[in-house]
Structure 1
């Protein structure tokens, strides 16, 4: 098994339609309140789901789906995705590194319009069980200054949510749908998708913080530290950051963080 053989591998998927019904299903699942005519910002992960699968199911990675766990996510939104437009997805494996007790594939994805302009750019870190003795991840990120608390709310993740999110996001990893396979991966039972936890919390905070209809998410950075189980309730908080429109996010379950080093920026609110 040579996981680093994946580094530099590129994937493309044209003909991705921002479908109205699929967008509405995703928005309903995570509680997004984007304006009419545009898709929820996190709908981007549904559009690139097929690209992610082609990478983590590659034979060079040598793993089972339920042994892949979303560890980190960054997203840059140049503009909203418009209902009905056709996009092309691009993905490249930037690196495969040591990550805790295993490895991680670092994937850069972009969704571009028909003129080749990027609309959404994201970097995803997918942790894989089984260490290969690779050099550890050396990336470091700057954390904004934490100021006053501006929003506190709680979101409940129902027992039926993993299946709903799997359908809405095209992510049917058995880690989220099969209790036995989730236990084989070291969890007490199936877990909520990390992106579902993130999208639900950030959407709820953004809904509260939006002061104008054109206010929207423009950047996000998150690290997943603890899984959420179906039936759990998570407390989300947003503190004002040092720059206008920047917010630091807290997400706790029974007093323990499920997200760390997480913050987002909104534009169009002023």
Structure 2
């Protein structure tokens, strides 16, 4: 079997170097659409290194810190894992923020596989990665849920159910965010060079009319919107994030966000306004101090 569960889950953490500077941060924010209102101070704080209040760093930047395309996406280098990229889907993401990310630093990532779940027709590899700062203390810890089609049915644990149904009432805030047709081409410069997001032939082979947007880009756009509209633009308030990637989103479409205030955080869904509210992100939660 391509996935040796015992070997994968018992292997020691993989250590890798990670470094970034304010240029990487600014590029990441631009790839999310920051700076569209180029004279707005609220936008310039994400993209202008000399902003009076200092350059802000969204916590989702941690997933690409170091130019890896996703901190923790070393799944193909993990012992006991031998899988085909074409069979892999990014199913979900969870981020715990231990302290705000600096605009420039040299750090280290520690990545391991704490669990592999058996979903019948697919396996789910849970990959946990902690980004350590220069002082060796954690900045963020994230968990990626990686669906591997055709690798289930090995008799393993199905894993916990972590669905988060949307509240049964009208949202407290409805936002519509237009995206650029070249959005995926911009976002891939942060390190995720999967041709599915750039090459029309690869996209057609996967069953899509054209390249799709990275799920982590869509998630970053949503987190930026919550930060701007509900947290006063203070990204340092975010303490925990989670999402499930439930459908594709095409660059150039309008992202429709429905956001609910739950008292202890914000819950939201994201859909494509151009395709009859086709689901894009579900089970999304942003917790802030």
Q: In which range does the TM-score fall when normalised by the shorter chain?
A: 0.7 to 0.9
Partner of residue 221, structure 2: 200
Partner of residue 64, structure 2: 46
Q: 2:19 aligns with which of 17, 20, 31?
A: 17
SS in structure 2 at match of 1:191: coil
Do the aligned partners of residues 82 and 145 (structure 1) sit closer, same or farther apart at CA in structure 2, a change above 3 Å counting? same
Partner of residue 194, structure 2: 173
Q: Is the 8 A contact 1:73 1:122 kept in 2?
A: yes
Q: CA RMSD in A?
A: 2.6
Q: Is the 8 A contact 1:18 1:82 kept in 2?
A: no
Q: What is the Cα deviation at residue 110 of structure 1?
A: 0.7
Q: What is the Cα deviation at residue 262 of structure 1?
A: 1.1
Partner of residue 76, structure 2: 56
Structure 1 residues 60-139: aligned runs within 5 Å = 60-99=80-119, 101-134=121-154, 135=156, 137-139=158-160
Asked if 1:151 is matched to 2:169, the reply is no
TM-score by length of 1: 0.86
TM-score by length of 2: 0.81
Unpaired runs of at least 5, structure 1: none
Q: Is the 8 A contact 1:89 1:109 kept in 2?
A: yes
Once residues 41 and 218 of structure 1 are traced to their aligned partners in structure 2, the CA distance between those partners, rounded to angstroms, is: 9
Do the aligned partners of residues 77 and 59 (structure 1) sit closer, same or farther apart at CA in structure 2, a change above 3 Å counting? closer
Q: What is the Cα deviation at residue 79 of structure 1?
A: 1.4
Unpaired runs of at least 5, structure 2: 35-44, 47-52
1:159-190 deviations in Å (ceiling 9; x for gaps): 2111110102x001122122222333343432
Q: Is the 8 A contact 2:120 2:153 kept in 1?
A: no
1:29-54 deviations in Å (ceiling 9; x for gaps): 11455562443211111125376443
Do the aligned partners of residues 207 and 92 (structure 1) sit closer, same or farther apart at CA in structure 2, a change above 3 Å counting? same
Partner of residue 9, structure 2: 7
State how many pairs are aligned.
263
Once residues 200 and 46 of structure 1 are traced to their aligned partners in structure 2, the CA distance between those partners, rounded to angstroms, is: 14
Once residues 76 and 139 of structure 1 are traced to their aligned partners in structure 2, the CA distance between those partners, rounded to angstroms, is: 19
Partner of residue 49, structure 2: none
Once residues 104 and 165 of structure 1 are traced to their aligned partners in structure 2, the CA distance between those partners, rounded to angstroms, is: 25
Q: Which has the higher strand share?
A: 1
Q: Is the 8 A contact 1:18 1:39 kept in 2?
A: no
Do the aligned partners of residues 100 and 191 (structure 1) sit closer, same or farther apart at CA in structure 2, a change above 3 Å counting? farther
Q: What is the Cα deviation at residue 215 of structure 1?
A: 5.4
Moved more, 95-104 or 111-120: 95-104
Do the aligned partners of residues 43 and 247 (structure 1) sit closer, same or farther apart at CA in structure 2, a change above 3 Å counting? same
